[in-house]
């Protein structure tokens, strides 16, 4: 199957997903289950990575400012901008593509190879709508909160790195993060996050739903889905940046 066929099949899958849930009670249960699995269980890794990456950005910026004419507040400013523009929405989405993407592909793929999806279809359940729609809603609504948390923790991590290393003053860092705050950049980051969340939930679902074979193929599909999710995120990131910031 060539790439164009895959793209066509992916959009046909989306057509099946976006239908009215057959039973809202069942849909809500599935939605809360997915919020827990895909969102709440990702808080730990996003918090951990954000804090340390924020620290690294601040330290590296500080190390690269040797000219005494450049104000030290640039460290806080650069950390804030890097985190809001790229690190939080894109880097965190790539981390989530690895963690959540492989989970989605392997769970749906296992359901496929063990005939659980056939069982749903035979019962008369729209399996794509039942399995994938709660994942999309859960990620699209929850990930912006996760990314905002990542932004705060990364900026906090930068502050903590400065305090612990004595490489810059706290006052300079605080002045830097307060300097020239542009709310549109946060909106830009959240728009990107919502689109990346959609990609993170649908591309791995596609790979899992159409897997053929056994457990080995499910493993291969998980790896492929992570790779393709990252590729799609990176391409989407480029076009979104061009559309929203230029």
Partner 1 sequence: MIKVNDIHKRFGEAEVLKGISTSFEPGKTNLIIGQSGAGKTVFLKSLLGLHTPEEGTIIYNGQINTEMTIEDKRDFRQELGMVFQGSALFDSLNVEENVMFPLKMFKKESKEEMLERVNFVLKRVDLENSNKKFPAELSGGMQKRVAIARAIVMNPKYLFCDEPNSGLDPSTSILIDNLIKEITQEYQITTVINTHDMNSVMEIGDKIVFLKDGLKAWEGSSKEIFKTDNQTVVDFVYSSNLFKKVREAYLNEQ
Residues that bind partner 1 (CB under 8 A): 22-23, 25-26, 33, 110-111, 114-116, 118-119, 121-125
**Closer residue to partner 1 in complex, CB, 153/221:** 221
HSE at residue 26, side-chain half, CA atoms within 13 A, is: 11
Write out the H or E segment, with its range, that includes residue 191.
Answer: helix 183-209
CB of 123 to partner 1, least distance (A): 5
**Closer residue to partner 1 in complex, CB, 73/108:** 108
**Token pair for 163:** 């305090």
CB of 116 to partner 1, least distance (A): 5
**Closer residue to partner 1 in complex, CB, 110/224:** 110
Distance of alpha carbon 83 from alpha carbon 58, whole angstroms: 10
CB of 115 to partner 1, least distance (A): 4
Helix axes 92-113, 116-123, angle to 10 degrees: 70
**Closer residue to partner 1 in complex, CB, 30/146:** 30
Distance of alpha carbon 148 from alpha carbon 47, whole angstroms: 10
CB of 99 to partner 1, least distance (A): 18
Write out the H or E segment, with its range, that includes residue 156.
Answer: helix 127-165
CB of 119 to partner 1, least distance (A): 4
**Closer residue to partner 1 in complex, CB, 65/125:** 125
CB of 218 to partner 1, least distance (A): 13
Distance of alpha carbon 71 from alpha carbon 65, whole angstroms: 9
How far apart, in Å, do the first and last CA atoms of the chain sit? 37
Alpha helices in 35-113 (DSSP H): 43-64, 73-82, 92-113
CB of 140 to partner 1, least distance (A): 22
**Closer residue to partner 1 in complex, CB, 128/147:** 128
The residue length of the chain stands at 246
Using a 10 angstrom Cβ sphere, with 0-12 exposed, 13-18 middle and 19 or more buried, the burial of residue 222 is buried
DSSP 8-class letter at 126: -
**Closer residue to partner 1 in complex, CB, 30/96:** 30
């Amino acid at each position: 199957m060539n790439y164009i066929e895959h793209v066509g099949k992916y959009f046909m899958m989306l057509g099946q997903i976006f239908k009215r849930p057959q039973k809202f009670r069942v849909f809500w249960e599935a939605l809360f289950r997915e919020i827990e699995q895909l969102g709440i269980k990702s808080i730990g890794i996003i918090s951990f990575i954000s804090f340390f990456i924020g620290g690294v950005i601040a330290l590296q910026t500080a190390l690269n400012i040797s000219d005494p004419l450049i104000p030290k507040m640039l460290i806080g400013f650069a950390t804030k901008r890097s985190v809001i523009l790229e690190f939080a929405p894109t880097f965190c989405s790539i981390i989530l593509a690895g963690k959540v993407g492989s989970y989605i592909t392997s769970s749906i793929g296992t359901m496929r190879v063990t005939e659980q999806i056939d069982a749903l279809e035979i019962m008369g359940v729209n399996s794509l709508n039942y399995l994938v729609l709660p994942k999309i809603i859960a990620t699209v609504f929850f990930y912006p909160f996760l990314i905002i948390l990542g932004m705060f923790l990364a900026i906090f991590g930068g502050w903590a790195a400065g305090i612990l290393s004595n490489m810059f003053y706290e006052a300079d860092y605080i002045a830097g993060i307060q300097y020239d705050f542009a709310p549109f950049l946060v909106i830009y980051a959240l728009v990107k996050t919502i689109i990346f969340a959609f990609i993170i939930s649908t591309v791995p679902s596609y790979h899992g739903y159409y897997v053929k074979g056994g457990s080995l193929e499910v493993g291969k599909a998980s790896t492929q889905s992570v790779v393709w999710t990252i590729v799609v995120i990176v391409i989407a990131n480029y076009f979104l940046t061009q559309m929203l910031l230029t």
